[in-house]
């Protein structure tokens, strides 16, 4: 079934998504009679996907505390009545001490809250990366929101059914409701300003956010609050890198990239657009018995992105950029460890940074060749 979802979503990505109308820009200013700076800033914050991503993470954190209290009070600190349905690596809960006896013990904190929050969490994180890339990319992804939430929700529901437990039926219903609410809310978000893409700052920002997402994935979605301490150094480094990258992006001088770099930027932008719909099916295909289909579908998305974004007058630069990026990607994949997402994140970041460095070097050499 997952293989069929991968094929269907990949075909939708390359054949349907480019034809969809991008979401219109969202006004971020108020009428002159009410245009106080504080009101304008508040409205912009409420339309920023990062604001709602932070809100979802905060809800995850609250639920982690409450679920620990529930397991302590109702299950005597023994989560085995749910972990026996799940693979290893779930419900390593922190010790809250006396606080665990004073908090309410709500049963919906086990799996139901995760089912409600997981889709908006990953969608908002993806949209934030697209916004950092360009407003056009974010607008196209929002325009494809119904395909995106349908694809990702289908995968989440398949995983729910594969790990069937007493919570499954209600969780599936919650995920369907979450999908509709998420899709309806996305057009209200601002895709950002139209400006030149800072290739390195966008990639560093995405990699840093990816590290933070992995932390939330382990600590919150898998209910491993006891792992938070070991994540703190990663969170600290990623937060500093993210802040530095966003500050640099806001203050860097605009410049016209060379033709090879411009082709790379356009192709990567199209990749973010086309990859959005099959992203989650491809990720789960790796670990759920559909790796060959995943590899083929991923190649189709990459080729479709290059066809739409790469300037054919610099095709030679494509080969060199792929070789340069591939070498760094292989190093990142081999050096990373832990969850499969960590290795994929390291490989993807390494590939883009290696390819970006290669394109810059190629563009610097082009005047010499013409001379």
Residue 304 lies in a domain: yes
Q: What is the pLDDT of residue 369?
A: 44
For 189, half-sphere exposure in the C-beta direction (CA atoms, 13 angstrom radius) is 28
Q: What is the pLDDT of residue 350?
A: 79
> Is 223:170 a contact under the CB 8 Å cutoff?
no
Residue 86 lies in a domain: yes
Tokens 């790990």 correspond to: 163
Residue 195 lies in a domain: yes
What is the rounded (10 degree) CA torsion for 183, 185, 190, 196?
A: -10
Q: What is the pLDDT of residue 101?
A: 94
Q: What are the residues whose beta carbons fall under 8 Å from the beta carbon of 108, sequence distance 6 or more?
A: none
> What's 277's DSSP letter?
T
Q: What is the pLDDT of residue 28?
A: 53
The pLDDT profile of the chain, 371 residues, written as one tens digit per residue, is: 889 999 999 999 999 999 999 988 776 554 554 557 777 788 888 899 999 999 999 999 999 999 999 999 999 999 999 999 999 999 999 999 999 999 999 999 999 999 999 999 999 999 999 999 889 999 999 999 999 999 999 999 999 999 999 999 999 999 999 999 999 999 999 877 777 677 788 889 999 999 999 999 999 999 999 999 999 999 999 999 999 999 998 877 766 778 888 888 888 899 999 999 999 999 888 877 788 899 899 889 988 998 998 888 777 777 887 887 788 778 777 777 666 777 777 787 877 778 778 887 877 776 544 43
Tokens for 39? 């009101």
Residue 360 lies in a domain: no
Q: What is the pLDDT of residue 167?
A: 95
> Which of these, 203, 243, 202, 239, lies nearest to 348 by C-alpha position?
203
Distance between alpha carbon 346 and the CA centroid of its chain, in Å?
14
> Is 29:47 a contact under the CB 8 Å cutoff?
no
> Is 186:152 a contact under the CB 8 Å cutoff?
no
Residue 331 lies in a domain: no
Task: Provide the number of structural domains found in the chain.
Answer: 1
Dihedral sign, Cα of residue 52, residue 57, residue 58, residue 62: positive
> Is 270:305 a contact under the CB 8 Å cutoff?
yes
- Measure the CA–CA gap between 310 and 261, rounded to whole angstroms: 10
Residue spans of beta strands (DSSP E) within 241-297: none
Q: What is the pLDDT of residue 203?
A: 87
Alpha helices in 219-258 (DSSP H): 228-251
Q: What are the residues whose beta carbons fall under 8 Å from the beta carbon of 133, sequence distance 6 or more?
A: 197, 202, 268, 269, 272
Residue 83 lies in a domain: yes
Residue 351 lies in a domain: no
> Which of these, 148, 117, 114, lies nearest to 130 by C-alpha position?
148
Domain that holds residue 118: 2-22+38-310
């Amino acid at each position: 079934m997952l293989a069929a979802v991968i094929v269907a979503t990949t075909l939708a990505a390359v054949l349907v998504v480019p034809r969809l109308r991008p979401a219109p820009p969202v006004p971020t200013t108020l009428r002159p009679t009410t245009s106080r700076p504080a009101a304008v800033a508040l409205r912009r914050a409420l339309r920023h996907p990062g604001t709602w991503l932070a809100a979802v993470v905060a809800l995850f954190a609250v639920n982690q505390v409450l679920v620990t209290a529930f397991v302590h009070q109702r299950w005597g600190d023994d989560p085995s009545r749910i972990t026996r349905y799940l693979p290893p690596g779930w419900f390593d809960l922190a010790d809250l001490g006396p606080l665990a006896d004073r908090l309410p013990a709500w049963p919906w904190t086990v799996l139901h809250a995760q089912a409600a929050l997981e889709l908006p969490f990953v969608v908002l994180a993806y949209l934030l990366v697209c916004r950092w890339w360009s407003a056009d990319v974010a607008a196209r992804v929002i325009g494809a929101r119904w395909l995106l939430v349908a694809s990702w929700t289908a995968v989440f529901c398949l995983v729910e059914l594969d790990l069937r437990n007493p919570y499954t039926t209600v969780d599936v219903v919650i995920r369907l409701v979450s999908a509709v609410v998420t899709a309806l809310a996305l057009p209200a978000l601002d895709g950002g300003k139209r400006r030149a893409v800072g290739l390195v700052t966008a990639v560093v920002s995405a990699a840093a956010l990816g590290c933070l997402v992995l932390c939330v994935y382990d600590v919150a979605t898998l209910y491993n609050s006891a792992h938070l301490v070991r994540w703190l150094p990663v969170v600290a480094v990623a937060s500093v890198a993210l802040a530095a990258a966003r500050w640099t992006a806001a203050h860097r001088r605009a410049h016209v990239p060379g033709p090879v770099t411009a082709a790379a930027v356009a192709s990567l932008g199209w990749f973010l657009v086309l990859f959005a719909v099959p992203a989650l099916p491809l990720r789960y295909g790796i670990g759920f018995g559909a790796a060959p289909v995943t590899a083929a579908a991923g190649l189709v998305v990459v080729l479709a992105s290059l066809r739409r974004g790469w300037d054919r007058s610099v095709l030679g630069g494509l080969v060199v950029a792929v070789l340069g990026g591939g070498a760094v990607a292989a190093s990142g994949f081999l050096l990373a460890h832990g969850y499969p997402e960590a290795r994929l994140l390291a490989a993807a970041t390494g590939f883009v940074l290696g390819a970006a460095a290669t394109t810059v070097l190629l563009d610097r050499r082009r005047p010499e060749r013409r001379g």
